[in-house]
Amino acid sequence: MRAIRGLWRWRHNPLRRATDLAEAWVALVALALMVLAAPVAGVLVGGAAGDALERSVRDQRETHHRVTATVVRELDRSPLDVDPENAAAGDLRSRVLADWTAPDGTGHRGPLLAGLATPHAGDRFAIWTDAHGRLVARPLDTATATTHAVLAGFGATLAAAGLTEGARRLIVWRMVRRRYARWDQAWDRAGPDWGRTGTGI
């Protein structure tokens, strides 16, 4: 709004300098880019991120399999064994030796983090594996993918607006520096006679 008021104020003002009008136009163009181009950039980036994440969701649904593991015995608990995918902050999981069968039919045994408070031999819990029984992260769900895409779009909008404002400030700074340099040249041309005009000295 300040840019629009600035343009209106300088339209027919006899004190208007070319740089004043140029600064107002720079501000107006920057405002238009922030209001129009930045949201478009956000929509484009959010859409591209959403498409990529949806492909990832589909791929993970095909390659990540939920299987049941069976506790063989409890292992020593380590305070560092926290599963960031499934555990809340400070929620320690039980470390167990477990058996599981992969989707391809092969049997596996190894140490796992189980969401069991007091695991006993024979207890069952769900884990995620690939087709060959190797442990993988829980697959990304559609709601999380959508949230990430929206955040990416919002971030791109803010980044575009910030870059536009930064470019505007840089341009205006350079224009002001150039104006000051011209003033310095004008003062230098006035030279030592400044203030003595008409005194006869």
List, for residues 163-172, the tens digit of each pLDDT value: 999 999 999 8
Q: Is 195 left (phi over 0), alpha (psi -120 to 50) or beta?
A: left
Token pair recorded at residue 175: 């224009």
| Alpha-carbon span 143 to 139, nearest angstrom | 12
Q: pTM for the whole thing?
A: 0.62
| Alpha-carbon span 126 to 88, nearest angstrom | 17
| Alpha-carbon span 78 to 167, nearest angstrom | 52
DSSP state of 98: E
Please give the average per-residue pLDDT across 85-109, as a whole number. 76
- Render pLDDT for 130-159 as a digit per residue (tens, 0 to 9): 989 899 988 888 999 999 999 999 999 999
Q: pLDDT grade, residue 81 (50/70/90)?
A: very low
DSSP state of 122: T
pLDDT attached to residue 117: 79
User: Rounded mean pLDDT of the chain?
Assistant: 82
Q: Give the pairing of strands 65-74 and 107-114.
A: unpaired
pLDDT attached to residue 88: 47
| Alpha-carbon span 131 to 83, nearest angstrom | 22
Q: Which residues contact 189 (CB under 8 A, 6 or more apart)?
A: none
